[in-house]
Chain A
Amino acid sequence: MTGATRAEYCVIACAEAWRGDGEVLASPMGLIPSLGARLARLTFAPDLLLTDGEALLVRPDGTAEGWLPYRQHLALVTGGRRHVMMGASQIDRFGNQNISCIGDWERPRRQLLGVRGAPVNTLNNPTSYWVPRHSRRVFVERVDMVCGVGYDHAAGARHHRIPRVVSDLGVFDFATADHSMRPASLHPGVTMEQVREATGFELAVPDEVPPTREPTAEELRLIREVLDPAGTRTREVAS
């Protein structure tokens, strides 16, 4: 089995977010992050905890193994034993994220979800992000409303960490001197020019940016035959 699709590279890139996390709750938001979390759990991160999206902790096959209603979930966040991958309507150079509204908060041009748990997530447990369509509308110079806290607003936040941002073009992190965003890997077939074109701020580009790693044959089989046989992943990222 070869010839991984873009969506499948994205699943791998999301799964990798949870590598080495140990026995913590993986909280993926969005379809491809959910596939990634379950893939990680089935392969290289077997200790991860997963939820059913409601109040149960479940094994990858859906068997319940625990109870996690919202109030316990919020307590788990502040305990830090969780790594969430949230969406982002806007994200900036330092990882500030917005899911609240577009335009002036007082009278928004587009009302979105609201801050949800982004403020508590970013101050308490590792928070990664998933952007299915990398564009200048999402990767902006400055977000309209800081929901998830970025590195330039995190002074004194002792549990703040943004391990990675995964988009349909590549993987990005903040492993630079000033914690500004840099490309960590590009999905095969993507050029740095394409990424620059689709990003509304200057990325800190290292001399060499590796490609996102290839899925193994077993990972591809799990994605295609076990986790997403209906191919719903292509609805989030076209192949």
Chain B
Amino acid sequence: MSDKTMTADEVVSRLSSGMTLGIGGWGSRRKPMALVRALLRSEVTDLTVVSYGGPDVGMLAAAGRIRKLVTAFVTLDSIPLEPHYRAARERGAFALTEIDEAMFMWGLHAAANRLPFLPVRAGIGSDVMRVNPGLRTVTSPYGDGETFVAMPALRLDAALVHMNRADRLGNGQYLGPDPYFDDLFCEAADTAYVSCERIVDTAELTKAAAPQTLLVKRHTVTGVVEAPGGAHFTSCAPDYGRDEAFQKTYATTPWPQFAARFLAGDEQAYRSAVGEGT
């Protein structure tokens, strides 16, 4: 069985400009931020990003790495509007595919199930149809005759997710209250990279936790990265909560200054800079 451990920089070396990249988590919750930071250190750009957006989207948008964003929202949760995302969107920095939260989920399900689309009772009557003129509808072939949006599969070249624990083979475990859609992101992707707070022996995974915490299966995973604090400054319950003070610094600091102060070096340098206080 293959050992899939690698560094964040090795993950990024396998990504290339122009790719469609899915990013797990939700808003400012359990985002694979160490992988996003590694991406920001690289030259990879022109990305189609698929995300229930938080600071992952804010940072990549501010840094000019996004060609097209597929999302239902971008938020920092405790700070409802993501300032760097807003600024980028208001200056027309990238194209947007704006869809509903449920349409997004069914798009991932379709991709994971190798279906071209799935019918969704969402979108019709709203301006999601106006701003996505490529969306098609499908009418039930049964007696009810209802018309639905045919949500196209959100197939991904690569997925990035962050777990609490993983083994070296790519079995990923979440220990917080919500899996979000991280397993679906991995199943919808040709390659998937899992960062985690701690890599442990396989037997260790279920010693103190129920088997249903094993969210991501190794056959869907290409690489595993041990990245303690890898979701910072988003939440990673129960290992740590959101770093609200730092998130506020992020939200109130002009992007060039934030990037120069916190993202100029590697992950170790980031942690030192964060530790020096905000």
Interface residues of A (CB under 8 A from B): 54-56, 67, 69-71, 74, 77-78, 100-101, 105-120, 122-124, 145-149, 153-160
Chain A residues lying within 8 Å of B269, measured Cβ to Cβ, are none
**A100-B98, A119-B103, A123-B124 known; A111+B181 contact, CB < 8 A:** no
Contact at A115–B126, with CB atoms within 8 Å? yes
> A111 vs B69: C-alpha distance in the bound complex, in angstroms?
14
How many residue pairs link A and B with beta carbons under 8 A? The number is 123
Compute how far the CA of A101 lies from the CA of B74 in the bound complex, rounded to whole angstroms: 12
**Contact check: which of A67, A70, A78, A148 meets B180 at CB < 8 Å?**
A70
A120 to B140, alpha carbons, bound, how many Å?
18
Q: B178 contacts A120, CB within 8 Å?
A: no
B122 touches A119 (CB 8 A): yes
Which of A106, A114, A122 is in CB contact (< 8 Å) with B73?
A: A114
Interface string of B96-136 (1 = CB under 8 A from A): 00111111010000000000000011111111101100000
Query: What are the interface flags for B63-84 relative to A under an 8 Å C-beta threshold, 1 for contact and 0 otherwise?
Result: 0000000011111000011000
Chain B residues numbered 23-79 whose CB sits less than 8 Å from any CB in chain A = 26, 53, 71-75
B74 touches A149 (CB 8 A): no
Would you call B123 and A119 a contact (CB within 8 A)?
yes
Which of the residues A54, A77, A156 comes within 8 Å of B102, measured between beta carbons? Answer: A77
23 A–B pairs (Cβ distance < 8 Å), ordered by A = A54-B178, A55-B177, A70-B101, A70-B178, A78-B102, A78-B121, A105-B127, A105-B130, A113-B81, A114-B72, A114-B74, A115-B126, A118-B100, A123-B122, A146-B125, A146-B130, A148-B126, A149-B125, A149-B126, A153-B126, A156-B124, A158-B146, A159-B121
Query: How many B residues touch the partner, as a band?
Result: 35 or more
Q: Known contacts A114-B71, A115-B73, A146-B125; is A120 also within 8 Å of B102 by CB?
A: yes
- Cα of A107 to Cα of B126 in the assembled complex, Å: 19
Cα–Cα, bound, A35→B268 (Å): 44
Question: What residues of chain A lie closer than 8 Å to B81, measured between beta carbons?
Answer: 111-113
- CB < 8 Å: which of A108, A117, A154 contacts B72? A117
Q: Which residue of B lies closest to A107 (CB)?
A: B92
| Pair A123/B177 contact, Cβ less than 8 Å | no
B127 touches A145 (CB 8 A): yes
Q: By the criterion CB–CB under 8 Å, are B90 and A119 in contact?
A: no
A116 touches B89 (CB 8 A): no
Query: Given the complex of chains A and B, what is the CA–CA distance between A145 and B99 in angstroms?
Result: 12
